Amino acid sequence: MREIGLRTERRTQLVEITELVEEALQPPDGAAAALIYVPHTTAGVTINEDADPVLAQDIEAAMERIVEDGWGKHSDADGPNAPSHIRASLISPQVLVPLAEGRLALGRWQGIFFCEFDGPRERKVYVTPLR
Amino acid sequence: MREIGLRTERRTQLVEITELVEEALQPPDGAAAALIYVPHTTAGVTINEDADPVLAQDIEAAMERIVEDGWGKHSDADGPNAPSHIRASLISPQVLVPLAEGRLALGRWQGIFFCEFDGPRERKVYVTPLR
Amino acid sequence: MREIGLRTERRTQLVEITELVEEALQPPDGAAAALIYVPHTTAGVTINEDADPVLAQDIEAAMERIVEDGWGKHSDADGPNAPSHIRASLISPQVLVPLAEGRLALGRWQGIFFCEFDGPRERKVYVTPLR
């Protein structure tokens, strides 16, 4: 298991981590897939198009529209943030990507995005090669 | 593949299964990750904070708010339940968690929750160690 | 990694691929799980009941209701399609299914569905056995 660290800047923010994941996988040592896992409860990970930065903003806005601010009763130390937790469960804390010749077998338009739902914060991502 | 059995009590209910999964993984025999898989079509699995029971209720209420009762035309033997199936697909039937030294490498606040969307029922969860 | 090809017929369409995945897994060679991965950014994969075709239509309609046409600013070469990308991230690009005796350990009612959100198109699915 290898660890990536990152810092987010906004409350809801998609941050592309494709290259960081690729680096964390070297050497792949014959692995068949890479598990990208987020050990947080108000963040997740997704795969989507990385060519147009407007799309990341559209996904951020959509998550805030599907789960509205104000939903729920849960509070963390910093105040009420149930929507951040709910958005994290909808997106999922993990994604598993096949490898081909030791590299992520992503589709032509695909990139891997860390999904911050309660930033800004210091965050971690675990990358685990699987056989 | 190891099997966990559980009984749910309400129509929509998050049930924490972290300890049951941890037990099902022993001995881990050098596994690098654990697949937690739900073999049902009106239930799923998610990871979220397990410190505050109010949050599980917030997630239950959110799933019923995102997918409203009454949507769809599908009926099971027990009557119309399309929303139960749709909620299950949104949450996902599986989650994959990395292992460190034979234990689930969950984040500090993370727990694993079985997500019932058509209870009460007898349910199963499959736990599969992967290398 | 083995590849399945398929052609979708409608803009939003669930296509069952359970048998195609089962075929792509032969011979399983001692694998413990199968990764089903979609290398596209406007499509995904889910598991749900395959006995009643009405349910697939209910899920298609629900995804168009949760993420409404018109959301977002992103355009592809073919025009604005942010909702297609957002629906893909909600459903997830991958699912991991345990194997038992070399076959998918699906629940009694479960089938695997390719989820088209920007069809009709030619599409691919990668199937990777994991140990």
Neighbouring chains of C at 3+ CB pairs under 8 Å are A, B
Confidence (pTM): 0.98
Nearest C-alpha of chain C: how many angstroms from A131? Answer: 6
- Helix (H) / strand (E) containing C103: strand C103-104
* pLDDT score at C77: 86
pLDDT for C106 beyond 90: yes
In chain B, what is the straight-line distance between the N-terminal and C-terminal CA atoms, in Å? Answer: 13
In chain A, the residue whose alpha carbon lies closest to the alpha carbon of B66 is A66
- Region A108-122: mean pLDDT is 98
**Beta-ladder partners of A123:** A6
Cα–Cα distance for residue pair C51/B42, rounded to 1 Å: 14
Question: DSSP of chain A, one letter per residue?
Answer: -EEEEEE--SSSEEEE-HHHHHHHT-S-TT-SEEEEE---SSEEEEEEE-S-HHHHHHHHHHHHHHS-TT----EETTEE-HHHHHHHHHH-SEEEEEEETTEE---TTEEEEEEESS-S-EEEEEEEEE-
For chain C, give percent helix, strand, coil, nearest 5: 25, 40, 35
Query: Chain-wide mean pLDDT for chain C?
Result: 97
Q: Band of the pLDDT at A53, cuts 50, 70, 90?
A: very high
> Which ipTM score applies to this complex?
0.97
CA of residue B39 relative to chain centroid, distance: 10
- Region C104-125: mean pLDDT is 98
Chain C residues within an 8 Å CB radius of B86: 58-59, 62
pLDDT for C58 beyond 90: yes
- Region A51-80: mean pLDDT is 96
CB pairs under 8 A between A and B: 92
Asked if the Cβ–Cβ distance from B97 to A96 is below 8 Å, we say no
Which residues of B have a CB under 8 Å from any CB of A?
32-33, 46-49, 52, 54-55, 57-59, 61-62, 65-66, 90-92, 95-98, 100, 105-110, 130-131
Asked if the Cβ–Cβ distance from B55 to A85 is below 8 Å, we say yes
Of A88, A93, A128, the CB nearest to B32: A128
